[in-house]
A and B are shown apart, each in its own frame.
Chain A
Amino acid sequence: MSDTYTLTMDDPIETSLLDTSAQGLIGKGLDRVDGPKKVSGQATYSAEYSFENGCYGFLVRAPFAVGRITKIDTQAAKALPGVIDVVTDFDRFIRNSAQGAVKSAPVQGVRDVAYFGEPVAIVVAEGYEQARDAASLVRIEHEAGSGNFDFAEAIADADIPPDGAAPATHDQGDLDKAMGDADATVDEVWTTPSQNSAAMEPHASVALWNDDGLTLYGSYQMPSFDRPSLADALGLETEQVRIITPYIGGGFGSKLGIAPESVAAAIASKQIGRPVKTVMTRQQVFDATVRRSNTRQRVRLAAGKDGKLTGIGHETHCSNLPDEVFFEPAGIATHFLYGGEHRRITHAIARLNRVLSGSMRAPGEAAGMLALECAMDELAERLGIDPVELRKINDCKRDPEKDIPYSSRSFTECLDEGAKRFGWDKRNRTPGKMREGEWLIGHGMSGSARGNQLQPSEARVVLRPDGSAIVETDMTDIGTGTYTILSQIAGELLGLPIDRVDVRLGDNRFPPGSGSGGSFGAGSSGSSVYLACEDIRRKLATAMDCEPSDLTLKDGEAIAANRRVSLSDIMSGEIEATGRIEPGDQGDEVRQAGHGAHFCAVRVNAVTGEVRIDRWTAVFAAGRILNEKTATSQCLGGVVFGIGAALTEELVHDPRNGKVVNRDLAEYHVPVHADVPHVDIRFLPERDTHANPLHAKGIGELGIAGAGAAVANAIANATGARVRDYPLTLDKLLDSLPPV
Chain B
Amino acid sequence: MAWERKVGKAMHFTINGKNYDADPDIRTSLLDLLREHLNLTGSKKGCDHGQCGACTVLVNGRRINSCLTLAVMHQDDEITTIEGIGTPDNLAPLQAAFVKHDGFQCGYCTPGQICSATGMLNEAKQGWPSHVSERLEGDVELTDDEIRERMSGNLCRCSAYPNIVDAIREVAEEPA
Contacts and interface: CB of A to CB of B under 8 A. Distances in A.
B119 interface: no
Interface in B144-159: 144-145, 147-149, 151-159
A282 B157 CA distance: 14
Contacts of A198: 157
A155 B131 CA distance: 45
B157 A40 contact: no
Interface stretch (A16-24, A29-37, A307-315, A333-341): A29-37
A129 interface: yes
A676 B54 CA distance: 19
Number of contact residues on A: which range applies?
Answer: 35 or more
Interface string A632-676: 111011011100000000000000000000001110001111101
A664 B47 contact: yes
A676 B52 contact: no
B176 interface: no
B114 interface: yes
A673 B148 contact: yes
B78 interface: no
B159 A45 contact: no
Contacts of B45: 47, 202, 279
Interface in A36-76: 36-45, 47-48, 50-56
B159 A637 contact: yes
Interface in A185-216: 197-202
B159 A34 contact: no
A32 B152 contact: no
A82 B164 contact: no
A127 interface: yes
Nearest to A44: B41
Interface stretch (A141-149, A245-253, A594-602): A245-253
Interface in A117-139: 126-130, 133
Contact of B36 (A128, A637, A640): A128
A281 interface: yes
Given A633-B163, A665-B46, A39 B99 contact: yes
A201 B106 contact: yes
A673 B169 CA distance: 14
A480 interface: yes
A630 B102 contact: yes
A478 B105 CA distance: 8
Interface stretch (B80-88, B121-129, B135-143): B80-88
Most B CB within 10 A of own CB, among A51, A666, A676, A679: A676
Contacts of B148: 673-674, 676
Most A CB within 10 A of own CB, among B1, B40, B87, B164: B87
Contacts, number: 210
Nearest to B86: A40
B145 to A, nearest CB: 8
A81 interface: yes
Interface in B36-77: 36, 39-49, 51-52, 54
B46 A200 contact: yes
A103 interface: no
B82 A40 contact: yes
Interface in A236-262: 247-250, 252
A200 B156 contact: yes
B160 interface: yes
A629 interface: yes
Contact of B44 (A201, A277, A664, A676): A201
B91 interface: yes
B108 A39 contact: no
Nearest to A249: B108
A696 B111 CA distance: 32
A50 B3 contact: yes
A479 B158 contact: yes
Most B CB within 10 A of own CB, among A41, A130, A248: A41
Contact of B161 (A47, A252, A673): A673
Nearest to B100: A31
B161 A50 contact: no
Given A129-B25, A197-B157, 10 more contacts: A32-B102, A39-B82, A40-B88, A42-B42, A127-B25, A198-B157, A200-B157, A633-B105, A665-B46, A673-B161
Interface of A: 31-32, 34-45, 47-48, 50-56, 81-82, 126-130, 133, 197-202, 247-250, 252, 277, 279, 281-282, 478-481, 629-630, 632-634, 636-637, 639-641, 664-666, 670-674, 676-679
21 contacts: A31-B99, A36-B91, A39-B98, A40-B82, A40-B87, A41-B43, A42-B87, A50-B1, A50-B3, A51-B2, A55-B3, A129-B27, A198-B157, A200-B155, A200-B158, A479-B104, A479-B105, A479-B158, A673-B147, A674-B145, A676-B148
